[in-house]
Amino acid sequence: MANNSLIKWVFKLILKYKIISIGTKYVPSSKVENEYVEMINFTKTMLIEIEEANITTESIFYNLLKDVGEKNIPVNHKFYELKPAKNEIEEYALVSNIITGNDRYLYVELSASNPLINEFSKIIVDAKGEIEEYSSTEIVARMLSKNDAIKIATKIIGIGLSNELNVMAAVGMTAAAAVERLINLNKEIGALSGIGFTKLGGEYALVFESRFNDSMGGFEDHQNYLFIDMINSTLFTNKYGKNKLVEIMNNIKNFIITECEGTIEGYREGGDDLIAKFPSKALAIKAGLDAAWFTLNNKTKIRAGVGRTRHEAGERAQLADEVTTNTPLSLVNFELANGVYAYYIPSEFTRTILNFIMNKKAKMFAIFLFVFVISYFFIILGYWEFGLVAALLVVLYGLFSK
């Protein structure tokens, strides 16, 4: 479904923005994943490109600084590109992050046995990481996100260098992937203090060859915020009542807290908007997407934005005003690489049209061919009006026949 070129082209003309996908081609591997993929495909959720990303080595590093926090990356570093990322956005990779979560494994290896391993373990636990394996020279931990893993690894490496201890680290989707990444990193650049990780399918490393001050400006804490605003809430309240608005917003709030590890900020009972904070961007997008599906099912729409600050999330939500047709659209806007993208959830009417087009392609092509031939025949004979009547009759047949 994600590769339907003709429909994507039509919606690009309507929305004036490139359509990356309709539905998803992500292949689920569990019951939970299957339910989520079915929802994306059933609702014909579209990934659209608001501002195109330009993925280069420079943009990867720039986004690393934004994601991790510039103060958390010491100036005396070297940035290596071991394998370049593709200059394209892969929707299934985004869906994978949303479904499976943004948690990552951090593997830490010391050049020699050292009591500092106990301090490193405490730092990881204090950052809400879970220690999976532990020895005198190694730590395998599960972190909340890749960015958290990189920040904590940098902090640990700084302490190691200050104590003349070489510390190497790598981040992966699994513990085995993190270990293998560190092995490959050592082969590429040697056994130096550094961190190996991936970004958008590419392989990268931050390497530190000299001491640095871990307290340079303080440890910068970056958050992920979601701003949700119900569209035309006054009209909705006039039609369905204030209690229905409260019910919908409370359901969204409870879902954010219980299912997405979110913390609610700035919500007033009876209000039509809220701000929530999340441990990862993927969870914020997931919450926004689920809220958009839920509100559409309850005959209303939201505009939502994800950002590193409350202000940025609010600005992202306002982008929905720029992507519109004759009616407001239900959008979840967010940054990806150095571009801006959005999930658009079509209305029930639009989904009905899409289902008709997708399920009756062969019939539609046959109808088009027949109309073209018969119209051309009547035009040659000088009876163009008969061609028009025939075309209308055939189209009506195609629409209402099973």
Same domain, 64 and 197: yes
Task: Copy the structure tokens of residue 41.
Answer: 């495909």
Cross-strand bridge partners of residue 48: 19, 342
Assess if residue 45 is contained within a domain. Answer: no
Give the Cα separation of 116 and 139 in Å (integer).
12
Same domain, 302 and 266: yes
Give the Cα separation of 310 and 296 in Å (integer).
24
Same domain, 175 and 287: no
81: CATH: 3.30.70.330
Same domain, 99 and 195: yes
Would you give per-residue pLDDT tens digits along the chain (402 residues)? Answer: 555 787 888 889 888 999 999 999 999 888 888 999 999 999 999 999 999 998 999 999 998 888 888 888 888 899 999 999 988 888 988 898 888 777 789 999 999 999 999 999 999 999 999 999 999 999 999 998 898 999 999 999 999 999 999 999 999 999 999 999 999 999 998 888 999 999 888 999 999 988 876 544 444 556 899 999 999 999 999 999 999 999 999 999 999 999 998 999 878 888 999 999 998 888 999 999 999 999 999 999 999 999 999 999 999 999 988 887 778 899 999 998 889 999 999 988 888 877 766 666 555 556 666 666 666 666 677 666 666 666 666 666 655 555
Side-chain-facing half-sphere of 297: CA atoms under 13 Å: 12
Cross-strand bridge partners of residue 142: 105, 130
Radius of gyration of the chain (CA): 26
Among residues 18, 47, 17, the alpha carbon closest in space to that of 285 is found at 47
Assess if residue 213 is contained within a domain. Answer: no
Distance of CA 35 to the CA centre of its chain: 18
Domain boundary among 145, 175, 207: 207
Same domain, 187 and 275: no
Assess if residue 351 is contained within a domain. Answer: no
Same domain, 251 and 392: no
Domain boundary among 152, 172, 207: 207
Assess if residue 141 is contained within a domain. Answer: yes
pTM of the model as a whole: 0.80
Same domain, 76 and 201: yes
Domain count, the chain: 3
242: CATH: 3.30.70.1230
Give the Cα separation of 147 and 149 in Å (integer).
5
Cross-strand bridge partners of residue 104: 143
Same domain, 71 and 198: yes
Assess if residue 335 is contained within a domain. Answer: no
Assess if residue 121 is contained within a domain. Answer: yes
Give the Cα separation of 315 and 143 in Å (integer).
29
Same domain, 67 and 200: yes
Backbone phi, psi, residue 309, to 5°: -130, 165
Same domain, 137 and 200: yes
Pairing of strands 202-207, 78-83: antiparallel
Give the Cα separation of 208 and 157 in Å (integer).
8
Assess if residue 31 is contained within a domain. Answer: no
Assess if residue 312 is contained within a domain. Answer: yes
Domain boundary among 329, 349, 373: 329
Task: Copy the structure tokens of residue 239.
Answer: 């039609």
Give the Cα separation of 135 and 55 in Å (integer).
39
Whether the CB-CB separation of 328 and 236 falls below 8 Å is answered with no
Name the residue range of residue 158's domain.
57-207
Residue with tokens 């080595």: 57
**Amino acid making up residue 169:** A
Give the Cα separation of 328 and 333 in Å (integer).
14
Same domain, 166 and 232: no
Same domain, 245 and 384: no
